[in-house]
Structure 1
Amino acid sequence: MIFKLTGVNQGSSGTRISTRCPHCGHNGTFESIGNDIQNNNSNRVFGIRRCPNEKCFGHMFFVYDKGQKNIVVTHPSDTIPFDKENIPENVLNAFQEAILSHSNNCFIASAIMIRKTLEEICMDRNATGNNLYKRLEDLGSKIVIPQELIEGMQELRLLGNDAAHIESNTFDEIGKNEVEISIEFTKEILKAVYQYESLLGKLRSLKKTKEEENN
């Protein structure tokens, strides 16, 4: 949820916070709102900032370590950006939950939702089979997609499967690196399934317009 901070008194001093807005994705130096607070027994400062993008003005809480000179945490937390164009709602909702779980360091939950994203893609494209392995195989015969991405989907399926079963000996080995690679790979799958065709259509439309202008 985004709350826009408009008509507020902006502080003239405070810790310089430069980051990507968790609301609109704008990169910039956030504006001070009120006074920062520092614990006398630590180097950590916390306060409120406003996105400098006038179309957003979203608010963000932060904790900053002056000794390490880095942002410890923000709320809302920053999320991995991705293109949402042409992705069906059910697929999009599952993948957004995977990304949100990752941003809050809930890596096992994120892995489960990546698997859920694959399930939703199969359902959207009417892929059949009595388990996800079979459905992904069938999906490969229904869509034009590089073989490497088909193989990658099977790897993502196994990651989510381990995460979903508490009795698995490997579920708690899923960490930040595994999930971030899985998210990036899933982004490429979504592009291949839902966005390349649209991009090609735009290119053909542009070419047609140019030809019409020249005639």
Structure 2
Amino acid sequence: MQKESFNVFCPECNMLVEAKVITDATGKFQSDALNPDDEVDAMYNAEHYTVCLCRRCNHPFLIKESLQGVPAEFETVTDTVVLYPTESKIAIEYLPNSIHSAYIQALRSYKVSLFDPCVLMCRKCLEGLCKILNVSGSNLNKRLEKLKEEKHIDDRLLKWGHQIRLIGNEAAHDIDTPISKKDAQDILEFTEAILIYVFSLTQRYEALMKRRQTTSK
């Protein structure tokens, strides 16, 4: 199965782009046929690899497609994964629905170059975090300090939280100073770090301790 292009998100262009296929090759191939003569009518699973270049900036991509079919009848793509470039981030798991919704909106805004909405949604993530953890305070500044006081976050995460708060305020009130791509990227990643620390890693640590206790018994 050959294609002339793929639609992918280019990190250099910061947008969805068309990537032109440069070369391709078939990798792993497994057939259900019991002998070679039966392969034409037997179900198979295969991996197809494609190298592409962004039509805007020539950024390279390596894409793997998982294929399934019967040679004499059909072939379909069951999964498509961009192997390069990759993101080596820790997965953001266990987010409450309200915070997950705000985070997804921040992420989508960044990917379509809407940087002001991106940082506004990041700030909303912090507001949601304080609400979920029942942290009180007359404003976000005081609530962030309370998060640190109650040991939900440490000094470094507090500093990052204040930057999310301040740049979020700029996006909301300073119409003459648009948020830059780099600032939006930093704020999004600081937000991800706080969410990972408070929700994802905390839950994973608790799960680890339960496994260890079960094993020791």
**TM-score between the two structures when normalised by the length of structure 1:** 0.61
In the aligned structure 2, how far is the partner of 1:126 from the partner of 1:211? Answer: 35
Check 1:18–1:163 CA distance in 2 against 1; reply closer, same or farther (3 A cut).
Answer: closer
Check 1:45–1:129 CA distance in 2 against 1; reply closer, same or farther (3 A cut).
Answer: same
In the aligned structure 2, how far is the partner of 1:144 from the partner of 1:70? Answer: 40
The superposition leaves residues 143-170 of structure 1 with CA deviations (integer Å, 9 ceiling, x where unpaired) of: 4322110111011100000000144x4x
Query: Which residue does the alignment assign to 1:190?
Result: 195
CA apart distance, 1:181: 1.2
Using CA pairs under 8 Å that are at least 6 residues apart, name the structure with larger relative contact order, 1 or 2: 2
The match for 1:199 among 195, 204, 212 is 204
CA apart distance, 1:86: 1.4
In the aligned structure 2, how far is the partner of 1:162 from the partner of 1:112? Answer: 9
Residue 137, structure 1, aligned to residue 183, structure 2: no
- Of all paired residues, the percent bearing the same amino acid is 26
Query: Which residue does the alignment assign to 2:115?
Result: 107
Residue 14, structure 1, aligned to residue 9, structure 2: no
Query: Which residue does the alignment assign to 2:29?
Result: none
Check 1:108–1:207 CA distance in 2 against 1; reply closer, same or farther (3 A cut).
Answer: same
Stretches of 4+ aligned residues off by more than 3 angstroms: 17-20
The match for 1:97 among 105, 109, 120 is 105
Q: Is the 8 A contact 2:90 2:196 kept in 1?
A: no
SS in 2 for 1:145: coil
Pairing of 1:112-191 with structure 2 (within 5 A): 112-167=120-175, 169=176, 171-172=177-178, 174-191=179-196
SS in 2 for 1:160: helix
CA apart distance, 1:137: 1.3
Check 1:144–1:70 CA distance in 2 against 1; reply closer, same or farther (3 A cut).
Answer: closer
Query: Which amino acid in structure 2 is aligned with residue 109 of structure 1?
Result: P
Query: Which residue does the alignment assign to 1:69?
Result: 58
Alignment coverage as a number of residue pairs: 155
Alignment gaps of 5+ in structure 2: 10-17, 22-52, 61-86
Query: Which amino acid in structure 2 is aligned with residue 210 of structure 1?
Result: T
In the aligned structure 1, how far is the partner of 2:128 from the partner of 2:153? Answer: 17
In the aligned structure 2, how far is the partner of 1:90 from the partner of 1:138? Answer: 21
Root mean square deviation of aligned Cα: 3.3
Higher strand share: 2
